[in-house]
Amino acid sequence: MSTPLLQILDVTAGFGATTVLHGVSIDVPEGSIAGIFGLNGAGKSVTLKTVAGVVPARSGQVLLDGEDITRWGPEKRVARGMGHIPQGRQVFPELTVEENLRLGAYTLRRRDRSRYAASLDAVYDRFPVLRERRSQLAGTMSGGQQASLCVGRALINQPRLVLVDEPSAGLSPVAALELREVLRDVAATGVTMVLVEQNIAFGLSLVDTAHLMQTGTVVHSSPVGDLDDATLATHLGIGSVLGAATSRMLSSRATPEPPKKGKPRVRRTA
Ligand SMILES: Nc1ncnc2c1ncn2[C@@H]1O[C@H](COP(=O)(O)OP(=O)(O)O)[C@@H](O)[C@H]1O
Ligand SMILES: [Mg+2]
């Protein structure tokens, strides 16, 4: 098997005397979307931050394409193809759309100005609404438009790996569906993603693998098709009843049972 694009190997991290991550390990194959799910405070955002280099790993390793980047600063990680869309859509509200994109492209502009111009154009092609509103103050746009701006700001560096922290939070259902299409499009261009979501149904509709976190450790990892209601309910500690939308999404994505040997297969007509 080829080396996963991202490997989080037994990472611990914390703040002061508090340890938050107690040895997190997650492999993310190139071209896939990995989902991290867990209750509030489980350590999902801190995990993404150790990958982005915003929170240092105290032990363990983060490997990008097999290279140990554990001690790299965030800027070097961005320059090497990592994009981070932090929780809470942190656009600069008093800056225009284009100024926000320019700031996102800080490292790219320093390295290669002509590539920046082409990349800005590519982001505007993907998000015509951002081109239309390039001079508008970001803080005056709708939640969905700000979400597009955050994705655009990450894409402008032409990343290979994008970390997305709760992109659907606070969006209207319609805006969330639009955002889902955007993220699918991005993944379809071959960009690898790590997605953290509180909205489990939304997250499950996007990801290839599911990693369930509880109090700073990964308690379950599997392809999303092998995840069942009971596993999800047990590890997310939400009792035995999942929301109907989550259950529906799980069964729609379930890997079909292999046909049993010896029995004639019955073709189901819908
Ligand atoms: N900057 C920080 N300083 C101290 N504790 C923090 C900090 N950031 C997160 N934590 C703690 O780490 C734990 C995990 O947080 P986080 O990763 O943000 O959870 P979530 O899974 O909801 O994203 C929580 O108990 C949180 O209070
Ligand atoms: Mg979080």
Q: What are 129-177's pLDDT values in tens digits?
A: 999 999 999 999 999 999 999 999 999 989 999 999 999 998 999 999 9
What is d(CA 145, CA 253) in angstroms, rounded to the nearest whole number? 29
Q: Is the sign of the CA dihedral 130, 128, 111, 66 positive or negative?
A: positive
- Give per-residue pLDDT as tens, 196-250: 998 888 999 999 999 999 999 999 999 999 998 888 888 886 644 567 778 888 8
Domains, the chain: 6-81+160-253 (3.40.50.300), 92-158 (no CATH)
In this structure, which ligand is nearest to the CA of 13? 1
- Give per-residue pLDDT as tens, 37-52: 999 999 999 999 999 9
So what's the pLDDT on residue 62? 98
How far does the centroid of ligand 1 lie from the alpha carbon of residue 49, in Å? 10
Longest CA span, the chain: 68
Ligand 1 atom at minimal distance to the Cα of residue 40: 22
Closest CA to ligand 1's atom 20: 41
Ligand 1 atom at minimal distance to the Cα of residue 87: 23
How far does the centroid of ligand 2 lie from the alpha carbon of residue 54, in Å? 14
Closest CA to ligand 1's atom 4: 15
Closest CA to ligand 1's atom 27: 41
pLDDT at 263 over 70: no
- Give per-residue pLDDT as tens, 66-124: 999 999 999 999 989 999 998 887 899 999 999 999 988 877 767 777 888 899 999 99
Q: State how beta strands 161-165 and 82-85 pair.
A: parallel
